[in-house]
Structure 1
Amino acid sequence: MPEMQNAGSVLSGLQQACLVVASFLVQVVVLGLFYSYGTLFAALKADTGDAASTLALVGSIRDFVFASGAAPAGFLVQRVGFVRMPAIGSALLLLSMLADSYAPSSYFLFITCSLVGGVAMAMIFTPALTVLYGPGHISRSFLPVAVGLASSGGGLGTVVVNLGLDLLLESFSWRGALRICCGAFGLLLLVSVVALWYGLRRHKKSGDSTTDYQELRSGTHVRDFFQPFGEFQFLLLNAALFLYCIGFMVPYTHLVYYAANERGLDISGELTSLLGGAGAAARLCFGLFSAFVRPSRLFLVVLLVTGASLICLPFCDDAAELKAFSAIYGFSSGGRVVLLSLLLNELFDAQRVAHLYGLAGIPIAVGTLLGPTFVGKVYDLTGHYDGAFFAAGGIVLLAVPVFCLAAFCRRSIERPSTSRAADRSCSEAMKDSEKADHRDQVVPACDASEESPHGKCKL
Structure 2
Amino acid sequence: MADGKRRQGGTAVPLDGGWGWVIVGCCFMVTVCTRAVTRCVSIFFVEFQAHFGADYSATAWIHSLVDCSTMLCAPVGSLVGNRWSCRVAVMLGGLLSSCGLLLSSFSTSLELLYLNMGVLTGLGFALCYTPAIAMVGCYFQRRKALAYGIAMSGSGIGTFVLAPLVQLLIELYSWRGALLVLSAFVANLCVCGALLRPIPLQEDEDEAKEEDGDEKLSEDAELAVKLSKESEDSLLSSQLQRRRCFGSGFLSSKEYRFLLLPDFLGLAVSFLFLASGCSLPFVYLVPYALSVGVRHQQAAFLMSILGVIDIVGNITFGWLTDRRCLKPYRLACYVFSVGMEGLCCLLVPLLRSFPLLVPFAVLYGYFDGAYVALIPVVTSDLVGAPYLSSALGVVYFLHAIPYLISPPIGGWLVDVTGSYTGTFFLSGAAMLASSLVLSIVFGIRSYCRRLSAVAKDARRKPLPAILSDQSDCFMAFNKEAVSQTAAS
- The answer for the alignment partner of 2:441 in structure 1 is 406
Amino acid at match of 1:364: H
Alpha-carbon distance in structure 2 between the residues aligned to 1:166 and 1:6: 54
Distance change (3 Å), C-alpha of 1:59 and 1:76: same
* Cα contact 1:90–1:124 (8 A) shared by 2: yes
Deviation at 1:390, TM superposition (A): 2.7
**Residues 321-346 of structure 1: CA deviation (Å, up to 9, x unaligned):** 44443332222221222111111123
Amino acid at match of 1:296: L
* Residue correspondence of structure 1 range 372-451 to structure 2 within 5 A: 372-379=407-414, 384-419=419-454, 422=457, 426=461
Alpha-carbon distance in structure 2 between the residues aligned to 1:251 and 1:42: 22
Alpha-carbon distance in structure 1 between the residues aligned to 2:283 and 2:103: 22
TM-score by length of 1: 0.77
Deviation at 1:319, TM superposition (A): 4.0
Amino acid at match of 1:178: L
* Cα contact 1:21–1:195 (8 A) shared by 2: no
Distance change (3 Å), C-alpha of 1:175 and 1:412: farther
- The answer for the alignment partner of 1:119 in structure 2 is 123
* Cα contact 1:53–1:376 (8 A) shared by 2: no
- The answer for the alignment partner of 2:89 in structure 1 is 85
Amino acid at match of 2:361: S
Distance change (3 Å), C-alpha of 1:175 and 1:367: same
Distance change (3 Å), C-alpha of 1:290 and 1:417: farther
Alpha-carbon distance in structure 2 between the residues aligned to 1:50 and 1:173: 18
Deviates more, 1:265-274 or 1:279-288: 265-274
* Residue correspondence of structure 1 range 330-369 to structure 2 within 5 A: 330-369=365-404
* Cα contact 2:84–2:248 (8 A) shared by 1: no
- Aligned residues: percent identity? 22
Alpha-carbon distance in structure 1 between the residues aligned to 2:348 and 2:9: 46
- The answer for the alignment partner of 2:38 in structure 1 is 34
Amino acid at match of 1:113: M
* Residue correspondence of structure 1 range 229-248 to structure 2 within 5 A: 229-248=259-278
1:273 to 283, 298, 304: 304
- The answer for the alignment partner of 1:442 in structure 2 is none
TM-score by length of 2: 0.73
Amino acid at match of 2:267: L
> Which structure 1 residue ranges, 5 or more long, are not aligned?
202-208, 431-459
Alpha-carbon distance in structure 2 between the residues aligned to 1:45 and 1:264: 25
* Residue correspondence of structure 1 range 155-194 to structure 2 within 5 A: 155-169=156-170, 171=172, 173-187=174-188, 189-194=189-194
Deviation at 1:133, TM superposition (A): 2.2
* Cα contact 1:159–1:274 (8 A) shared by 2: no
- Paired residue total: 413
2:76 to 72, 86, 89: 72
SS in 1 for 2:394: helix
* Cα contact 2:93–2:127 (8 A) shared by 1: yes
**Residues 86-138 of structure 1: CA deviation (Å, up to 9, x unaligned):** 0000011111222333333434332222222221111111111001223xx33
- The answer for the alignment partner of 1:437 in structure 2 is none
> Which protein has greater RCO, CA pairs closer than 8 Å, 6+ apart?
1
Distance change (3 Å), C-alpha of 1:148 and 1:9: farther
Amino acid at match of 1:249: S
Amino acid at match of 2:145: P
Distance change (3 Å), C-alpha of 1:404 and 1:11: closer
* Cα contact 1:64–1:366 (8 A) shared by 2: yes
Alpha-carbon distance in structure 2 between the residues aligned to 1:253 and 1:102: 29
**Residues 272-293 of structure 1: CA deviation (Å, up to 9, x unaligned):** 4323211111111121122232
2:101 to 97, 103, 107: 97
1:149 aligns with 2:153: no
- The answer for the alignment partner of 2:279 in structure 1 is 249
SS in 1 for 2:254: coil
**Residues 400-454 of structure 1: CA deviation (Å, up to 9, x unaligned):** 3212112213413432453455456657xx9xxxxxxxxxxxxxxxxxxxxxxxx
1:282 to 303, 310, 313: 313
Alpha-carbon distance in structure 1 between the residues aligned to 2:169 and 2:282: 19
